[in-house]
Amino acid sequence: MQALNRIFKKKSQYALKLERILGFYPKNINVYKQAFTHKSTLSDNDRKIAESNERLEFLGDTVLSTVVSHFLFIKFPFKDEGFLTELRSRFVSREMLNSLGRKIGLNELIEKKSDEHAASIYGNTLEALIGAIYIDKGYKVTQNFIYQKLIHNHIDTQEVMINETNFKSRVIEWCQKGKHTFRFEVKENQEKNIHLYTVELFLDDKLEGVGIANSKKKAEQLASEQFYNEHLKEII
């Protein structure tokens, strides 16, 4: 009788929204709610670390990189490490992840209080969602979600190969051509178990971009992407 009750138990609206995005019915609803909870909705610092999506974002970033690496390794059996590394960076770039997050409908479930992180919130939340899937369903289901829902449905590999998405390289090249000075200033911030880098991009001694991430390289790309989108996108 209990088994029949479980089978015919009405699904929650929240779980149904998740099912449309994921392609499967979630088991651990709470971990997905955490994946969509931005730290701006939490008042206390300890809760921000324990209950926001930042830790899941860290996990999802690693899992995503592994799955994409394996996908490219199989798809391009005769390409060298440099080619695979560069193409992977394009697949997991902030621009790509933000675009994917919007396309699969993450805006329906994200909880936040301000638009302060609007530029990167979709990509960050997508990484957190991948971390949540990994905890809830394991590696194989997560791999299938990335393959089917993200790569096969929304990424044209040939187009990604053609389009350069290394924002740092683009900004540096623009600076060199125009004889502009540039520098990246890095600050490290340790909050309990979370290690974050804040990178500030200065062009001709003027602050033009800020990036915050769990690696210096990623933070530099975010700072460069901010400047690129605000000033260079239409002219390069």
Provide the CATH number for the domain around residue 173: 3.30.160.20
The pLDDT of residue 76: 96
Average pLDDT of the chain, as a whole number: 85
**pLDDT at residue 85 is higher than 80:** yes
Give per-residue burial for 125-156: e unless 16+ CB within 10 Å, then b: bbbbbbbbbbbbbeeeebbebbeebbbeeebe
Beta bridge mates, 210: 200
Domain assignment present for 193: yes
Last residue of a domain, which of 119, 144, 162? 162
Q: Are residues 123 and 198 in the same domain?
A: no
pLDDT in tens, 5-39: 444 345 688 888 899 999 999 999 999 999 998 87
Domain assignment present for 175: yes
**pLDDT at residue 165 is higher than 80:** no
Q: Are residues 156 and 212 in the same domain?
A: no
Last residue of a domain, which of 145, 162, 179? 162
Annotated catalytic residues are: 61, 127
The pLDDT of residue 101: 94
Q: Are residues 206 and 111 in the same domain?
A: no
Domain assignment present for 6: no
Q: pTM for the whole thing?
A: 0.67
Q: Can you give the CATH number for the domain in which 135 is found?
A: 1.10.1520.10
Domain assignment present for 5: no
**pLDDT at residue 67 is higher than 50:** yes
Structurally, the chain folds into a number of domains equal to 2
Domain assignment present for 1: no
**What is the separation, in whole angstroms, between the first and last Cα of the chain?**
65
Domain assignment present for 7: no
For 15, the token pair is 């779980």
Last residue of a domain, which of 107, 140, 162? 162
The pLDDT of residue 5: 45
Range of the domain at 183: 167-232
pLDDT in tens, 90-147: 899 888 999 999 999 998 888 766 555 566 789 999 999 999 999 999 999 999 999 9
